[in-house]
């Protein structure tokens, strides 16, 4: 698990179709200021909650839901103390998702796929990881 600031990880530094992280919020990292990245970001709340401010709109993410932030969209994040989250960064064009922010009700299957992907090391392509991402990309557009 890493902190909300991703310990300096730049999501745009690699071109993997999908990279996921377990995130544990610590007191001095509850807020990430306005920023943007090329990759789209899905933020899944596992425990606690997170809000995302995008274009003067505030998106709240309770457990079992996620917020989708398309790439290149400036946003900021604020989490509740001790929140546990998963961040999923998706390469542009890798899967068809909405072109604007939205919340998604995450199925148990998609949740487990994201959690499993977060256990894998980014930047180390493996056939099993590629298959996992393919299944995730089949299921993500089906989330209500």
Domain ranges of the chain: 6-142
> Could you tell me which residues come within 8 angstroms of residue 19 by beta carbon, excluding any fewer than 6 positions away?
11, 88, 89, 117, 122, 123
HSE on the CB side for 29, CA within 13 Å?
14
| pLDDT for the residue numbered 125 | 62
Residues of the chain with pLDDT under 50: none
Looking at 76-126, list the stretches that DSSP marks H as alpha helix, in order from N- to C-terminal side. 108-119
Confidence (pLDDT) at 48: 87
Please provide the average confidence, as pLDDT, over all residues in the chain: 88
What is the pTM assigned to this prediction?
A: 0.90
pLDDT at position 3 is: 55
Torsions phi, psi of 131, nearest 5? Answer: -65, -40
Pick the CATH number of 6-142 from 3.50.50.60, 1.10.10.10, 1.20.120.530, 2.60.120.280: 2.60.120.280
């Amino acid at each position: 698990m890493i902190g909300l600031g991703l310990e300096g990880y730049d999501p745009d530094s690699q071109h993997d179709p999908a990279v996921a992280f377990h995130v544990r919020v610590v007191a001095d990292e509850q807020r990430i200021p306005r920023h943007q990245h090329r990759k789209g970001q899905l933020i899944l709340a596992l425990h606690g909650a997170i809000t995302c401010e995008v274009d003067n709109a505030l998106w709240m993410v309770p457990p079992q839901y996620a917020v989708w932030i398309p790439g290149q969209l400036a946003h900021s994040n604020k989490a509740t103390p001790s929140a546990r989250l998963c961040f999923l960064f998706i390469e542009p064009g890798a899967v068809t998702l909405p072109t604007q922010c939205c919340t998604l009700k995450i199925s148990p299957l998609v949740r487990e796929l994201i959690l499993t992907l977060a256990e894998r090391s980014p930047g180390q392509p493996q056939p099993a990881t590629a298959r996992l991402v393919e299944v995730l990309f089949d299921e993500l557009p089906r989330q209500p």
